[in-house]
Structure 1
Amino acid sequence: MTQPIRIGVQLQPQHADYAQIRAAVAEAEEAGVDVVFNWDHFFPLYGDPDGKHFECWTMLGAWAEATSRVEIGALVSCNSYRNPELLADMARTVDHISGGRLILGIGAGWFQRDYDEYGYDFATAGARLADLAQALPRIRDRWSKLNPAPTRDIPVLIGGGGERKTLRYTAEHATIWHSFGDLDTFTRKSGILDRHCADVGRDPAEIERSIGVSAPPQEVADGLIAAGASLFTIGVGGPDYDLGLVKEWVAWRDAGR
Protein backbone atom coordinates (compact mmCIF):
# COMPACT_ATOMS: atom_id res chain seq x y z
CA MET A 1 0.00 0.00 0.00
CA THR A 2 1.40 3.38 -1.06
CA GLN A 3 -0.04 6.41 0.69
CA PRO A 4 -0.71 9.50 -1.45
CA ILE A 5 1.15 12.69 -0.69
CA ARG A 6 -1.12 15.03 1.24
CA ILE A 7 -0.76 18.53 2.66
CA GLY A 8 -2.31 19.67 5.92
CA VAL A 9 -2.42 22.94 7.80
CA GLN A 10 -2.94 23.41 11.52
CA LEU A 11 -4.72 26.70 12.10
CA GLN A 12 -3.88 27.48 15.70
CA PRO A 13 -7.07 28.86 17.31
CA GLN A 14 -5.24 31.58 19.22
CA HIS A 15 -4.65 35.35 19.06
CA ALA A 16 -7.45 35.87 16.53
CA ASP A 17 -11.13 36.60 16.25
CA TYR A 18 -13.22 33.73 14.93
CA ALA A 19 -13.92 35.62 11.70
CA GLN A 20 -10.18 35.59 11.00
CA ILE A 21 -9.98 31.85 11.68
CA ARG A 22 -12.95 31.13 9.46
CA ALA A 23 -11.42 33.19 6.65
CA ALA A 24 -8.19 31.20 7.01
CA VAL A 25 -10.11 27.92 6.72
CA ALA A 26 -11.75 29.13 3.53
CA GLU A 27 -8.40 30.28 2.11
CA ALA A 28 -6.77 26.95 2.97
CA GLU A 29 -9.52 24.98 1.27
CA GLU A 30 -9.36 27.23 -1.78
CA ALA A 31 -5.56 26.81 -1.87
CA GLY A 32 -5.96 23.05 -2.22
CA VAL A 33 -4.87 21.62 1.13
CA ASP A 34 -6.09 18.13 1.99
CA VAL A 35 -6.63 18.51 5.74
CA VAL A 36 -7.30 21.48 8.04
CA PHE A 37 -6.55 20.88 11.71
CA ASN A 38 -6.94 22.95 14.85
CA TRP A 39 -5.75 21.92 18.33
CA ASP A 40 -7.40 20.99 21.60
CA HIS A 41 -6.27 23.51 24.20
CA PHE A 42 -7.95 26.19 26.28
CA PHE A 43 -5.17 28.78 26.29
CA PRO A 44 -2.57 29.93 23.76
CA LEU A 45 0.61 27.89 23.52
CA TYR A 46 2.66 30.72 22.00
CA GLY A 47 2.71 34.47 22.54
CA ASP A 48 0.56 36.04 25.23
CA PRO A 49 -0.51 33.10 27.44
CA ASP A 50 -3.76 34.91 28.21
CA GLY A 51 -4.48 35.97 24.63
CA LYS A 52 -7.56 35.16 22.59
CA HIS A 53 -8.34 31.46 22.25
CA PHE A 54 -11.26 29.26 21.16
CA GLU A 55 -12.40 25.73 21.97
CA CYS A 56 -11.60 22.88 19.61
CA TRP A 57 -14.68 20.77 19.01
CA THR A 58 -17.23 23.56 18.83
CA MET A 59 -15.02 25.01 16.11
CA LEU A 60 -14.83 21.69 14.23
CA GLY A 61 -18.61 21.57 14.06
CA ALA A 62 -18.59 25.05 12.50
CA TRP A 63 -15.82 24.08 10.08
CA ALA A 64 -17.88 21.07 9.00
CA GLU A 65 -20.54 23.49 7.73
CA ALA A 66 -18.11 26.12 6.43
CA THR A 67 -16.12 23.73 4.21
CA SER A 68 -17.06 21.25 1.51
CA ARG A 69 -13.94 19.32 0.45
CA VAL A 70 -11.13 19.26 3.03
CA GLU A 71 -10.90 16.77 5.83
CA ILE A 72 -10.99 18.38 9.27
CA GLY A 73 -9.84 17.39 12.72
CA ALA A 74 -7.89 18.22 15.84
CA LEU A 75 -4.13 17.80 15.99
CA VAL A 76 -4.87 16.44 18.50
CA SER A 77 -7.79 16.06 20.91
CA CYS A 78 -6.80 15.55 24.53
CA ASN A 79 -8.25 12.27 25.76
CA SER A 80 -8.49 13.61 29.31
CA TYR A 81 -11.02 16.34 28.57
CA ARG A 82 -13.98 14.20 27.52
CA ASN A 83 -15.48 10.85 28.39
CA PRO A 84 -14.54 8.44 25.54
CA GLU A 85 -18.17 7.66 24.74
CA LEU A 86 -18.98 11.37 24.55
CA LEU A 87 -15.97 12.01 22.32
CA ALA A 88 -17.05 9.15 20.06
CA ASP A 89 -20.52 10.69 19.74
CA MET A 90 -19.10 14.16 19.10
CA ALA A 91 -16.84 12.74 16.39
CA ARG A 92 -19.74 10.80 14.83
CA THR A 93 -21.85 13.97 14.80
CA VAL A 94 -19.17 16.10 13.13
CA ASP A 95 -18.57 13.22 10.71
CA HIS A 96 -22.21 13.49 9.63
CA ILE A 97 -22.25 17.30 9.54
CA SER A 98 -19.17 17.26 7.30
CA GLY A 99 -20.40 14.49 5.03
CA GLY A 100 -17.68 12.07 6.11
CA ARG A 101 -14.64 14.37 6.34
CA LEU A 102 -13.65 14.11 10.02
CA ILE A 103 -10.34 12.72 11.25
CA LEU A 104 -10.33 11.89 14.97
CA GLY A 105 -6.94 13.03 16.20
CA ILE A 106 -6.25 12.01 19.78
CA GLY A 107 -3.43 12.01 22.29
CA ALA A 108 -2.82 11.53 26.00
CA GLY A 109 -2.52 15.24 26.87
CA TRP A 110 0.39 17.27 28.20
CA PHE A 111 -0.45 20.97 28.81
CA GLN A 112 -0.83 21.26 32.57
CA ARG A 113 -2.46 24.70 32.60
CA ASP A 114 -5.45 23.30 30.70
CA TYR A 115 -5.89 20.63 33.36
CA ASP A 116 -5.42 22.92 36.33
CA GLU A 117 -7.72 25.72 35.22
CA TYR A 118 -10.49 23.46 33.89
CA GLY A 119 -10.49 21.08 36.84
CA TYR A 120 -9.00 17.95 35.29
CA ASP A 121 -6.58 15.70 37.15
CA PHE A 122 -3.15 16.08 35.54
CA ALA A 123 -1.92 12.97 37.37
CA THR A 124 1.19 11.42 35.76
CA ALA A 125 2.21 10.81 32.17
CA GLY A 126 1.82 7.09 32.79
CA ALA A 127 -1.72 7.51 34.10
CA ARG A 128 -2.70 9.69 31.15
CA LEU A 129 -1.32 7.10 28.72
CA ALA A 130 -3.18 4.33 30.54
CA ASP A 131 -6.38 6.35 30.17
CA LEU A 132 -5.71 6.71 26.43
CA ALA A 133 -5.19 2.96 26.08
CA GLN A 134 -8.54 2.35 27.75
CA ALA A 135 -10.33 5.02 25.72
CA LEU A 136 -9.38 3.90 22.20
CA PRO A 137 -11.37 0.63 22.16
CA ARG A 138 -14.24 2.33 24.00
CA ILE A 139 -14.49 4.92 21.24
CA ARG A 140 -14.72 2.27 18.54
CA ASP A 141 -17.21 0.28 20.58
CA ARG A 142 -19.44 3.35 20.96
CA TRP A 143 -19.28 4.00 17.22
CA SER A 144 -20.64 0.49 16.66
CA LYS A 145 -23.66 1.28 18.86
CA LEU A 146 -24.62 4.75 17.64
CA ASN A 147 -27.72 5.37 15.54
CA PRO A 148 -27.09 6.54 12.93
CA ALA A 149 -23.66 5.00 12.61
CA PRO A 150 -20.73 7.09 11.38
CA THR A 151 -20.77 7.69 7.63
CA ARG A 152 -17.43 5.86 7.28
CA ASP A 153 -14.76 4.15 9.32
CA ILE A 154 -13.59 7.39 10.92
CA PRO A 155 -9.80 7.67 10.60
CA VAL A 156 -8.02 7.76 13.97
CA LEU A 157 -4.85 9.82 14.17
CA ILE A 158 -2.64 9.34 17.20
CA GLY A 159 -0.09 12.04 17.89
CA GLY A 160 3.03 11.34 19.91
CA GLY A 161 6.27 9.44 19.97
CA GLY A 162 6.39 7.45 23.19
CA GLU A 163 8.21 4.32 22.11
CA ARG A 164 6.80 1.71 24.49
CA LYS A 165 3.20 2.85 24.83
CA THR A 166 2.06 5.54 22.38
CA LEU A 167 3.53 3.81 19.34
CA ARG A 168 2.12 0.49 20.53
CA TYR A 169 -1.36 2.03 20.79
CA THR A 170 -0.83 3.50 17.33
CA ALA A 171 -0.07 0.07 15.91
CA GLU A 172 -3.17 -1.34 17.54
CA HIS A 173 -5.70 1.40 16.82
CA ALA A 174 -4.59 4.19 14.46
CA THR A 175 -5.08 4.96 10.80
CA ILE A 176 -2.58 7.84 10.92
CA TRP A 177 0.46 8.45 13.11
CA HIS A 178 1.60 12.06 13.61
CA SER A 179 5.20 12.61 14.59
CA PHE A 180 6.81 15.59 16.24
CA GLY A 181 10.51 16.09 15.55
CA ASP A 182 13.20 16.09 12.90
CA LEU A 183 14.03 13.55 10.20
CA ASP A 184 16.24 11.40 12.42
CA THR A 185 13.60 11.27 15.14
CA PHE A 186 10.87 10.48 12.64
CA THR A 187 12.93 7.73 11.00
CA ARG A 188 13.81 6.04 14.29
CA LYS A 189 10.29 6.18 15.71
CA SER A 190 8.71 5.08 12.44
CA GLY A 191 10.90 1.98 12.60
CA ILE A 192 9.74 1.33 16.15
CA LEU A 193 6.14 1.68 14.99
CA ASP A 194 6.84 -0.90 12.28
CA ARG A 195 8.09 -3.33 14.93
CA HIS A 196 4.99 -2.78 17.06
CA CYS A 197 2.87 -3.47 13.97
CA ALA A 198 4.70 -6.77 13.51
CA ASP A 199 4.06 -7.63 17.16
CA VAL A 200 0.30 -7.06 16.83
CA GLY A 201 0.02 -8.65 13.38
CA ARG A 202 -0.70 -5.51 11.42
CA ASP A 203 0.70 -4.37 8.07
CA PRO A 204 2.64 -1.16 8.87
CA ALA A 205 1.81 0.19 5.40
CA GLU A 206 -1.79 0.59 6.58
CA ILE A 207 -0.76 3.48 8.85
CA GLU A 208 -0.30 6.84 7.14
CA ARG A 209 2.78 8.65 8.48
CA SER A 210 2.28 12.36 9.21
CA ILE A 211 4.77 14.99 10.32
CA GLY A 212 4.78 18.68 11.03
CA VAL A 213 7.04 20.75 8.77
CA SER A 214 8.25 24.33 9.01
CA ALA A 215 10.62 24.56 6.03
CA PRO A 216 10.00 24.61 2.26
CA PRO A 217 9.59 21.22 0.57
CA GLN A 218 12.82 21.62 -1.38
CA GLU A 219 14.70 21.53 1.92
CA VAL A 220 13.08 18.63 3.74
CA ALA A 221 10.62 16.66 1.62
CA ASP A 222 12.91 14.13 -0.07
CA GLY A 223 14.34 12.77 3.16
CA LEU A 224 10.96 12.59 4.85
CA ILE A 225 9.35 10.81 1.91
CA ALA A 226 12.21 8.33 1.83
CA ALA A 227 11.57 7.68 5.52
CA GLY A 228 7.88 7.01 4.85
CA ALA A 229 6.12 10.32 5.51
CA SER A 230 3.21 11.21 3.24
CA LEU A 231 1.12 13.78 5.16
CA PHE A 232 2.93 17.08 5.71
CA THR A 233 1.32 19.63 8.03
CA ILE A 234 2.31 23.27 8.46
CA GLY A 235 1.34 25.09 11.65
CA VAL A 236 0.05 28.64 11.19
CA GLY A 237 -0.80 31.12 13.94
CA GLY A 238 -3.18 34.04 14.23
CA PRO A 239 -4.17 36.72 13.82
CA ASP A 240 -2.81 36.94 10.25
CA TYR A 241 -2.70 33.24 9.27
CA ASP A 242 -0.04 33.59 6.60
CA LEU A 243 -0.49 30.58 4.31
CA GLY A 244 2.54 31.30 2.11
CA LEU A 245 4.47 28.20 3.15
CA VAL A 246 1.32 26.08 2.96
CA LYS A 247 0.82 27.15 -0.65
CA GLU A 248 4.44 26.26 -1.46
CA TRP A 249 3.79 22.71 -0.24
CA VAL A 250 0.54 22.49 -2.22
CA ALA A 251 2.31 23.67 -5.39
CA TRP A 252 5.09 21.10 -4.79
CA ARG A 253 2.49 18.35 -4.37
CA ASP A 254 0.64 19.40 -7.51
CA ALA A 255 3.86 19.56 -9.53
CA GLY A 256 4.37 15.87 -8.85
CA ARG A 257 7.16 16.61 -6.36
Structure 2
Amino acid sequence: MTTPARVAVQIQPQHADYAQIRRAVAAAEEAGVDIVYNWDHFFPLSGEADGKHFECWTMLGAWAEATSRVEIGALVTCNSYRNPELLADMARTVDHISDGRLILGIGAGWFERDYTEYGYEFGTAGSRLNDLSEALPRITKRWSKLNPAPTRDIPILIGGGGEKKTLRYTAEYAKIWHGFGDSETLTRKRDVLDKWCHEIGRNPAEIERSAGVGGTPDEVAETMVAAGITQFTVGVSGPDYDLGSVRDWVAWRDDFNKAAASA
Protein backbone atom coordinates (compact mmCIF):
# COMPACT_ATOMS: atom_id res chain seq x y z
CA MET A 1 0.00 0.00 0.00
CA THR A 2 1.55 3.30 -1.10
CA THR A 3 -1.17 5.60 0.26
CA PRO A 4 -0.93 6.19 4.03
CA ALA A 5 -3.85 4.94 6.08
CA ARG A 6 -6.23 7.64 7.26
CA VAL A 7 -9.01 7.53 9.85
CA ALA A 8 -12.27 9.44 9.59
CA VAL A 9 -15.24 9.74 11.87
CA GLN A 10 -18.80 10.43 10.74
CA ILE A 11 -20.51 12.53 13.40
CA GLN A 12 -24.09 11.66 12.54
CA PRO A 13 -26.16 14.80 13.22
CA GLN A 14 -29.05 12.97 14.85
CA HIS A 15 -30.54 12.59 18.35
CA ALA A 16 -28.38 15.35 19.83
CA ASP A 17 -28.33 19.04 20.58
CA TYR A 18 -25.86 21.02 18.49
CA ALA A 19 -23.68 21.66 21.54
CA GLN A 20 -23.17 17.90 21.83
CA ILE A 21 -22.26 17.67 18.14
CA ARG A 22 -19.79 20.55 18.49
CA ARG A 23 -18.11 18.85 21.45
CA ALA A 24 -17.89 15.56 19.55
CA VAL A 25 -16.17 17.26 16.61
CA ALA A 26 -13.66 18.91 18.95
CA ALA A 27 -13.01 15.61 20.71
CA ALA A 28 -12.50 13.82 17.39
CA GLU A 29 -9.97 16.41 16.23
CA GLU A 30 -8.15 16.15 19.56
CA ALA A 31 -8.14 12.34 19.25
CA GLY A 32 -6.14 12.65 16.04
CA VAL A 33 -8.56 11.72 13.28
CA ASP A 34 -7.75 12.89 9.78
CA ILE A 35 -11.29 13.72 8.62
CA VAL A 36 -14.63 14.55 10.25
CA TYR A 37 -17.76 13.92 8.19
CA ASN A 38 -21.44 14.49 8.78
CA TRP A 39 -24.23 13.37 6.41
CA ASP A 40 -26.80 15.08 4.22
CA HIS A 41 -30.24 14.07 5.45
CA PHE A 42 -33.19 15.83 7.03
CA PHE A 43 -34.31 13.09 9.42
CA PRO A 44 -32.57 10.45 11.53
CA LEU A 45 -31.59 7.24 9.77
CA SER A 46 -31.72 5.14 12.93
CA GLY A 47 -33.46 5.30 16.27
CA GLU A 48 -36.49 7.56 16.70
CA ALA A 49 -37.61 8.49 13.19
CA ASP A 50 -38.66 11.98 14.26
CA GLY A 51 -35.76 12.55 16.64
CA LYS A 52 -33.51 15.59 16.73
CA HIS A 53 -31.65 16.29 13.50
CA PHE A 54 -29.69 19.13 11.86
CA GLU A 55 -28.91 20.21 8.29
CA CYS A 56 -25.61 19.30 6.67
CA TRP A 57 -24.05 22.31 4.92
CA THR A 58 -24.80 25.03 7.45
CA MET A 59 -23.16 22.68 9.96
CA LEU A 60 -20.07 22.31 7.75
CA GLY A 61 -19.66 26.08 7.70
CA ALA A 62 -19.65 26.07 11.50
CA TRP A 63 -17.19 23.18 11.61
CA ALA A 64 -14.87 25.07 9.27
CA GLU A 65 -14.57 27.78 11.93
CA ALA A 66 -14.55 25.44 14.93
CA THR A 67 -11.74 23.15 13.73
CA SER A 68 -8.19 23.89 12.68
CA ARG A 69 -6.55 20.70 11.39
CA VAL A 70 -8.98 18.01 10.24
CA GLU A 71 -10.51 17.87 6.79
CA ILE A 72 -14.30 18.15 6.84
CA GLY A 73 -17.12 17.14 4.54
CA ALA A 74 -20.39 15.33 4.04
CA LEU A 75 -20.52 11.57 3.68
CA VAL A 76 -22.24 12.30 1.39
CA THR A 77 -24.06 15.33 -0.03
CA CYS A 78 -27.26 14.38 -1.85
CA ASN A 79 -26.98 15.77 -5.35
CA SER A 80 -30.76 16.19 -5.61
CA TYR A 81 -31.11 18.80 -2.89
CA ARG A 82 -29.16 21.70 -4.39
CA ASN A 83 -28.53 23.23 -7.78
CA PRO A 84 -25.02 22.13 -8.89
CA GLU A 85 -23.76 25.68 -9.37
CA LEU A 86 -25.04 26.64 -5.92
CA LEU A 87 -23.42 23.57 -4.39
CA ALA A 88 -20.13 24.45 -6.08
CA ASP A 89 -20.28 27.94 -4.60
CA MET A 90 -21.18 26.60 -1.15
CA ALA A 91 -18.25 24.21 -1.32
CA ARG A 92 -15.89 26.98 -2.45
CA THR A 93 -17.04 29.15 0.45
CA VAL A 94 -16.53 26.43 3.07
CA ASP A 95 -13.19 25.66 1.44
CA HIS A 96 -12.11 29.25 2.13
CA ILE A 97 -13.56 29.36 5.64
CA SER A 98 -11.63 26.19 6.49
CA ASP A 99 -8.38 27.31 4.81
CA GLY A 100 -8.57 24.50 2.28
CA ARG A 101 -9.83 21.57 4.35
CA LEU A 102 -13.12 20.73 2.60
CA ILE A 103 -13.84 17.43 0.87
CA LEU A 104 -16.91 17.53 -1.39
CA GLY A 105 -18.55 14.18 -0.77
CA ILE A 106 -21.46 13.59 -3.14
CA GLY A 107 -23.84 10.85 -4.18
CA ALA A 108 -27.06 10.33 -6.11
CA GLY A 109 -29.36 10.17 -3.07
CA TRP A 110 -31.57 7.38 -1.77
CA PHE A 111 -33.57 8.30 1.38
CA GLU A 112 -37.11 8.72 0.08
CA ARG A 113 -38.49 10.47 3.16
CA ASP A 114 -36.09 13.38 2.63
CA TYR A 115 -37.44 13.82 -0.88
CA THR A 116 -41.14 13.52 -0.12
CA GLU A 117 -41.23 15.72 2.97
CA TYR A 118 -39.02 18.46 1.47
CA GLY A 119 -40.73 18.50 -1.92
CA TYR A 120 -38.04 16.97 -4.15
CA GLU A 121 -38.86 14.56 -6.94
CA PHE A 122 -37.65 11.12 -5.90
CA GLY A 123 -37.63 9.63 -9.39
CA THR A 124 -35.76 6.36 -9.85
CA ALA A 125 -32.27 5.20 -9.01
CA GLY A 126 -31.43 5.56 -12.68
CA SER A 127 -32.76 9.11 -12.99
CA ARG A 128 -30.94 10.19 -9.83
CA LEU A 129 -27.68 8.76 -11.18
CA ASN A 130 -28.24 10.55 -14.50
CA ASP A 131 -28.75 13.79 -12.57
CA LEU A 132 -25.45 13.18 -10.77
CA SER A 133 -23.64 12.65 -14.06
CA GLU A 134 -24.96 16.01 -15.28
CA ALA A 135 -24.11 17.79 -12.02
CA LEU A 136 -20.46 16.79 -11.69
CA PRO A 137 -19.14 18.69 -14.74
CA ARG A 138 -21.32 21.67 -13.83
CA ILE A 139 -19.74 21.75 -10.35
CA THR A 140 -16.18 21.62 -11.64
CA LYS A 141 -16.92 24.18 -14.36
CA ARG A 142 -18.42 26.59 -11.81
CA TRP A 143 -15.30 26.29 -9.65
CA SER A 144 -13.25 27.52 -12.60
CA LYS A 145 -15.44 30.65 -12.83
CA LEU A 146 -15.69 31.68 -9.17
CA ASN A 147 -13.87 34.72 -7.80
CA PRO A 148 -12.03 34.08 -5.62
CA ALA A 149 -11.27 30.59 -6.85
CA PRO A 150 -11.16 27.67 -4.40
CA THR A 151 -7.99 27.58 -2.31
CA ARG A 152 -7.11 24.18 -3.78
CA ASP A 153 -8.39 21.60 -6.21
CA ILE A 154 -11.27 20.59 -3.93
CA PRO A 155 -11.22 16.79 -3.66
CA ILE A 156 -14.46 15.14 -4.76
CA LEU A 157 -15.52 12.01 -2.91
CA ILE A 158 -18.17 9.87 -4.60
CA GLY A 159 -20.05 7.35 -2.50
CA GLY A 160 -21.61 4.24 -3.98
CA GLY A 161 -20.86 1.01 -5.76
CA GLY A 162 -22.92 0.92 -8.95
CA GLU A 163 -20.65 -0.73 -11.48
CA LYS A 164 -22.09 0.75 -14.68
CA LYS A 165 -22.54 4.38 -13.65
CA THR A 166 -21.33 5.34 -10.17
CA LEU A 167 -17.89 3.80 -10.48
CA ARG A 168 -17.49 5.27 -13.96
CA TYR A 169 -18.30 8.74 -12.61
CA THR A 170 -15.83 8.08 -9.81
CA ALA A 171 -13.09 7.25 -12.30
CA GLU A 172 -13.80 10.48 -14.17
CA TYR A 173 -14.23 12.98 -11.32
CA ALA A 174 -13.30 11.70 -7.87
CA LYS A 175 -10.17 11.77 -5.76
CA ILE A 176 -11.81 9.55 -3.14
CA TRP A 177 -14.17 6.61 -3.57
CA HIS A 178 -16.30 5.52 -0.61
CA GLY A 179 -17.57 1.97 -0.95
CA PHE A 180 -19.93 -0.18 1.07
CA GLY A 181 -19.96 -3.83 2.05
CA ASP A 182 -17.59 -6.50 3.28
CA SER A 183 -14.02 -6.95 2.06
CA GLU A 184 -15.08 -9.35 -0.70
CA THR A 185 -17.58 -6.83 -2.08
CA LEU A 186 -15.10 -3.97 -1.77
CA THR A 187 -12.47 -5.99 -3.63
CA ARG A 188 -14.84 -6.61 -6.52
CA LYS A 189 -15.88 -2.95 -6.68
CA ARG A 190 -12.24 -1.88 -6.49
CA ASP A 191 -11.44 -3.99 -9.52
CA VAL A 192 -14.36 -2.51 -11.46
CA LEU A 193 -13.22 1.01 -10.54
CA ASP A 194 -9.70 0.18 -11.69
CA LYS A 195 -11.11 -1.09 -14.98
CA TRP A 196 -12.99 2.16 -15.54
CA CYS A 197 -9.84 4.14 -14.75
CA HIS A 198 -7.85 2.19 -17.34
CA GLU A 199 -10.65 2.65 -19.86
CA ILE A 200 -10.53 6.45 -19.59
CA GLY A 201 -6.75 6.61 -19.24
CA ARG A 202 -6.50 7.49 -15.55
CA ASN A 203 -4.09 6.02 -13.03
CA PRO A 204 -6.22 4.13 -10.45
CA ALA A 205 -3.68 5.02 -7.76
CA GLU A 206 -4.88 8.64 -7.96
CA ILE A 207 -8.14 7.62 -6.22
CA GLU A 208 -8.10 7.06 -2.46
CA ARG A 209 -10.30 4.13 -1.39
CA SER A 210 -12.57 4.59 1.63
CA ALA A 211 -15.08 2.48 3.53
CA GLY A 212 -16.95 2.40 6.80
CA VAL A 213 -15.67 0.10 9.53
CA GLY A 214 -17.95 -1.59 12.02
CA GLY A 215 -15.46 -3.72 13.91
CA THR A 216 -12.16 -3.31 15.66
CA PRO A 217 -8.86 -3.03 13.77
CA ASP A 218 -7.93 -6.54 14.93
CA GLU A 219 -11.15 -7.88 13.42
CA VAL A 220 -11.32 -6.14 10.05
CA ALA A 221 -8.26 -4.05 9.22
CA GLU A 222 -6.21 -6.76 7.52
CA THR A 223 -8.93 -7.80 5.07
CA MET A 224 -9.88 -4.21 4.29
CA VAL A 225 -6.28 -3.25 3.59
CA ALA A 226 -6.10 -6.27 1.28
CA ALA A 227 -9.18 -4.90 -0.51
CA GLY A 228 -7.33 -1.64 -1.15
CA ILE A 229 -8.99 0.48 1.52
CA THR A 230 -6.78 3.24 2.93
CA GLN A 231 -9.41 5.49 4.56
CA PHE A 232 -11.34 3.95 7.45
CA THR A 233 -14.50 5.68 8.67
CA VAL A 234 -16.17 5.08 12.02
CA GLY A 235 -19.76 6.25 12.36
CA VAL A 236 -21.01 7.53 15.72
CA SER A 237 -24.49 8.73 16.65
CA GLY A 238 -25.87 11.11 19.23
CA PRO A 239 -26.49 11.92 21.91
CA ASP A 240 -23.38 10.30 23.41
CA TYR A 241 -20.95 10.18 20.43
CA ASP A 242 -18.76 7.45 21.90
CA LEU A 243 -15.30 7.83 20.32
CA GLY A 244 -13.72 4.75 21.92
CA SER A 245 -13.58 2.82 18.64
CA VAL A 246 -12.28 5.91 16.85
CA ARG A 247 -9.31 6.10 19.21
CA ASP A 248 -8.57 2.41 18.60
CA TRP A 249 -8.45 3.06 14.86
CA VAL A 250 -6.22 6.12 15.28
CA ALA A 251 -3.75 4.03 17.30
CA TRP A 252 -3.85 1.30 14.63
CA ARG A 253 -3.29 3.90 11.90
CA ASP A 254 -0.21 5.25 13.59
CA ASP A 255 1.28 1.79 14.05
CA PHE A 256 0.40 0.74 10.53
CA ASN A 257 1.85 3.81 8.85
CA LYS A 258 5.01 3.60 10.95
CA ALA A 259 5.48 -0.05 9.95
CA ALA A 260 4.79 0.75 6.28
CA ALA A 261 7.30 3.59 6.30
CA SER A 262 10.05 1.41 7.72
CA ALA A 263 9.37 -1.60 5.48
Normalised by the length of structure 1, the TM-score is 0.99
**Identical residues among aligned pairs (%):** 76
Q: How many residues align?
A: 257
Alignment of 1:231-242 (within 5 A): 231-242=231-242
**Structure 1 unaligned spans of 5+:** none
Secondary structure class of the residue paired with 1:50: coil
Alignment of 1:5-154 (within 5 A): 5-154=5-154
Q: 2:260 maps to which residue? A: none
Are the aligned partners of 2:167 and 2:196 in contact in 1 as well (CA < 8 Å)?
yes
Task: State the Cα deviation string for residues 44-70 of structure 1 (Å, max 9, x = none).
Answer: 000000000000000000000000000
CA distance in 2 between counterparts of 1:227 and 1:51 reads: 36
Are the aligned partners of 2:5 and 2:256 in contact in 1 as well (CA < 8 Å)?
no
CA distance in 2 between counterparts of 1:224 and 1:254 reads: 16
CA RMSD of aligned residues (A): 0.8
Q: 2:229 maps to which residue? A: 229
CA distance in 2 between counterparts of 1:256 and 1:159 reads: 25
CA distance in 2 between counterparts of 1:2 and 1:158 reads: 21
How big is the shift at 1:256? 2.9
CA distance in 2 between counterparts of 1:163 and 1:24 reads: 35
Task: State the Cα deviation string for residues 180-202 of structure 1 (Å, max 9, x = none).
Answer: 11101100000000001011110
Secondary structure class of the residue paired with 1:256: helix
Q: Give the counterpart letter for 2:73 in structure 1.
A: G
How big is the shift at 1:226? 1.6
Q: 2:246 maps to which residue? A: 246
Secondary structure class of the residue paired with 2:150: coil
CA distance in 2 between counterparts of 1:195 and 1:70 reads: 32
CA distance in 2 between counterparts of 1:255 and 1:227 reads: 19
Normalised by the length of structure 2, the TM-score is 0.97
Moved over 6 A (4+): none
CA distance in 2 between counterparts of 1:53 and 1:130 reads: 29
Q: Give the counterpart letter for 2:65 in structure 1.
A: E
